[in-house]
């Protein structure tokens, strides 16, 4: 295994044009990317952890954001999988569906990593210009590069 810091996201963790009718389906599609990238070891266990967290409070935020997240024993490295959806997916925000979905996974017991990722994303997604940059991006690589550059832990 290579040494050094593992990137929070990569192009393989991004879906441009995510096609999902429900938050559960959107979350599954993004979680499948995490499994394929070796960031999640067991998809059903991880999705259950996300469902339990989502059951505590909706993760839809104003501005067209969905930010499902969980600490889980099935996550190997702090990770963000990202989906963009032109149609939008209902994550329970009062202002409508999410067009940008950030699925955050952090290893169980890594409270700090989980909170740092949420805080770093929150600092950026409150800015419309940042959200628009992501919505306008036409490739997974561009989105991953924006996150790597703009979201610092």
At 1 the pLDDT is 34
Q: Supply the CATH number for residue 80's domain.
A: 3.40.930.10
Confirm whether 6 is domain-assigned. Answer: no
Q: What is the pLDDT of residues 82-116, one digit of tens each?
A: 999 999 999 999 999 999 999 999 998 766 776 78
Confirm whether 3 is domain-assigned. Answer: no
Q: What is the pLDDT of residues 7-45, one digit of tens each?
A: 899 999 999 999 999 999 999 999 999 999 999 999 999
Confirm whether 4 is domain-assigned. Answer: no
Residue 109's nearest CA partner among 81, 76, 80 is 76
Confirm whether 16 is domain-assigned. Answer: yes
Cα separations in angstroms, 143 against 21, 47, 80, 123:
22, 24, 12, 17
Strand partners, 101: 66, 83
Residues annotated as part of the active site: 69
Give the predicted TM-score (pTM) of the model.
0.93
Range of the domain at 58: 11-150
Confirm whether 58 is domain-assigned. Answer: yes
Backbone angles phi, psi at 78, to 5 degrees: -55, 130
- Report the domain count for the chain: 1
Confirm whether 5 is domain-assigned. Answer: no
Let me know if 86 is exposed, middle or buried by CB neighbors in 10 A (0-12, 13-18, 19+).
Answer: exposed
């Amino acid at each position: 295994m290579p040494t050094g810091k593992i990137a929070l996201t990569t192009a393989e963790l991004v879906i441009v044009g995510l096609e999902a009718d429900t938050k559960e389906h959107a979350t599954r599609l993004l979680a499948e990317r995490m499994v394929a990238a070796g960031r999640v070891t067991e998809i059903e266990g991880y999705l259950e952890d996300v469902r339990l967290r989502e059951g505590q409070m909706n993760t839809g935020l104003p501005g067209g954001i969905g930010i499902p997240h969980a600490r889980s024993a099935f996550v190997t490295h702090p990770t963000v999988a990202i989906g963009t959806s032109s149609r939008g997916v209902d994550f329970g925000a009062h202002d409508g569906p999410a067009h940008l979905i950030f699925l955050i996974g952090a290893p169980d017991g890594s409270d700090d990593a989980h909170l740092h990722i949420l805080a770093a994303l929150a600092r950026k997604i409150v800015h419309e210009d940042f959200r628009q940059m992501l919505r306008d991006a036409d490739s997974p690589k561009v989105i991953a590069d924006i996150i790597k550059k703009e979201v610092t832990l």
